[in-house]
Amino acid sequence: MPLTIPAAEDKDSKAAKCRKSIFFGITCVSIFFEGNTWESFHVSLKHHVSEFLSIREPLRSNIPDRQLNSFTNRYENYENAIDALFNELRGGRTSENSLYEICFLKHVVLSKNFDNHLVMAFASHLQNVLIKLTHLAATCATVRYEETKHIEQYQDEIVNKVTLIASHASMYLNNSLLSAWPSTHNGILKEQMLLNIPNPTNVDQNQLEKVANLTRLLLANKGLPNYAYEILIVREANDKYESYFNGESTRCTFNKHNSGFDTIIGRISFNSADQFEKIRLETVLEKQRAAAAEVNQTIQSEMNSLYVGPTLPIIAEALKRKIGKDILTDYEFSCWAIIREWRWIPCPGITYGVSPFEINDVESITTLRYKNRGSLTQDCEDFRFFFFV
């Protein structure tokens, strides 16, 4: 991800200069920190703030216009980005230089931010270069040697080395894209939330859906190819709030207490270029929508006697027994979640945004609701159930 440091909306000019010079980079962080509590400050910067403030004045007077390579590099997460920035401020080498020297392929993957289109374009370019190198070796062999035996030995040696390079590069690049899930995907979602939600305590459904939709587009080419994504963002209430999640780690990732939100990213194996794949997936979506409707019947009929459970995991386990089928193995959902808020008065409302994958108006995320309005002696409770294809 690019190194970005959020600034107040009325400081757009300084925010733009953040990416250009060290002086405005430090000013940008100061703007963001002033008037905010530690809790509202991004966790990745907490342990650097004191050092940032201590070096601000010397940098202002000595090198106010210094260009920072750290602002143009890309990183797996904010921690790596901030570490790289401070390494450069202290006079160390940039992460780009050090990565390049340690492992060129790692530098390629990180500089492309795990974008499979860009990584595969590099792999294709590397293949062409290796093919040209093999042809050049054959020409050199005929120029250098006269005997066929020596020519073949020279060619075989080059071919063996080229094959080793090609197989290693292919394996490394593929494994790197594989390793992107889920940390890179969660990092991109977190970055978009920080950039687009200035006040997590005052946010509505439209804002959350906007961030989810934007992130889903950004994730399209991240990591392994041929996946579609689905996203849920739920604002955590200050108190009397619980969340429950159950799912397959290869298909869903749940990030709890994520800068004031609970988030889920699901991924669906899908090749958009294959027409039969679209038909297959549409059938799956229809089948699981019907399964969710069946589950909803049990929720509406049984939750009245279950919602008083002391914790959400206990309620979830009791509900699963009432349903009589396993949500993941029998209904074949990749994951599911329950969000619960309760308050005596007024009745709470869960704030969330979803961005499902969609084929012919059939969505990949099904949302169900149960509400108990409480009484003079009982809290009003709001439940949301989310089922991911």
Rounded Cα–Cα distance for residues 216 and 230 (Å): 7
- Of 69, 102, 135, the one marking the end of a domain is 102
Do residues 276 and 157 share a domain?
Answer: no
125 in any annotated domain:
yes
Identify the pLDDT of residue 217: 95
- Is 111 a domain residue? no
Could you say which of 102, 134, 158 is where a domain stops?
102
Shared-domain flag, residues 129 and 150: yes
Residues in the chain, total: 389
What one-character-per-residue DSSP string does 221-270 give? TBSSSSEEEEEEEEEPPSSSEEEEEEE-TTTEEEETTSSSEEEEEEEEE-
In terms of DSSP bridges, do strands 358-359 and 241-247 run parallel, antiparallel, or are they unpaired?
A: unpaired
Q: Is residue 233 part of a domain?
A: yes
Tokens of 304: 């009245």
Domain annotation covers residue 107: no
Q: Name which of 225, 232, 222 is nearest 182 in CA terms.
A: 222
Q: Do 352 and 364 have their domain in common? A: yes
Q: Of 127, 161, 179, which residue sits at a domain end? A: 179
How many Cα atoms occupy the beta-carbon half-sphere of 153 within 13 Å? Answer: 7
* CA 80 – CA 88 distance, rounded (Å): 12
The verdict on 175 and 310 lying in the same domain is no
Verify that 190 and 158 share a domain, yes or no. Answer: no
Mean pLDDT by 10 residues, the chain (389 residues): 40 43 44 42 50 52 56 63 68 50 81 92 94 88 86 88 93 95 94 90 94 96 95 93 95 92 96 89 92 94 79 89 90 95 89 94 94 82 95
Range of the domain at 31: 9-102
pLDDT at 37: 43
Amino acid at 126: L
What one-letter code names the amino acid at 49?
V
Q: Are residues 150 and 257 in the same domain?
A: no
- Whether 175 and 189 share a structural domain: no
4 falls within a domain: no
Distances (CA, A) of 170 to 105, 115, 173, 250, 347: 10, 15, 5, 22, 56
Residue 3 lies in a domain: no
How crowded is the C-beta side of 363, counted as CA atoms within 13 Å? 12
Based on the fold, state whether residues 57 and 198 are members of the same structural domain.
no
| CA–CA separation, 68 and 256 (whole Å) | 34
* Structural domains of the chain, count: 3
Q: Are residues 73 and 219 in the same domain?
A: no
> Is-contact 181 267, C-beta < 8 A?
yes
pTM of the predicted model, to two decimals? 0.73
Instruction: Please name the residue ranges forming H helices in 307-378.
Output: 312-323
**226 backbone φψ class: left, alpha, beta (φ>0; ψ -120 to 50):** left
**Helices in the chain by DSSP H: which ranges?**
12-17, 22-33, 49-62, 78-89, 95-102, 104-111, 116-144, 148-179, 183-196, 205-219, 275-306, 312-323
Let me know if residue 132 belongs to a domain: yes
Same domain? For 158 and 203 the reply is no
Tell me, yes or no, whether 265 and 304 share the same domain.
yes
What b-and-e string marks burial along 6-38, b requiring 16 or more CB atoms within 10 Å of the CB? bbeeeeeebbebbbebbbbbbbbbebbbeeeee
| Residue matched to tokens 């991800």 | 1
Rg of the chain on CA atoms, in Å:
26
Same domain (yes/no): 212, 331: yes
Any domain includes 1: no
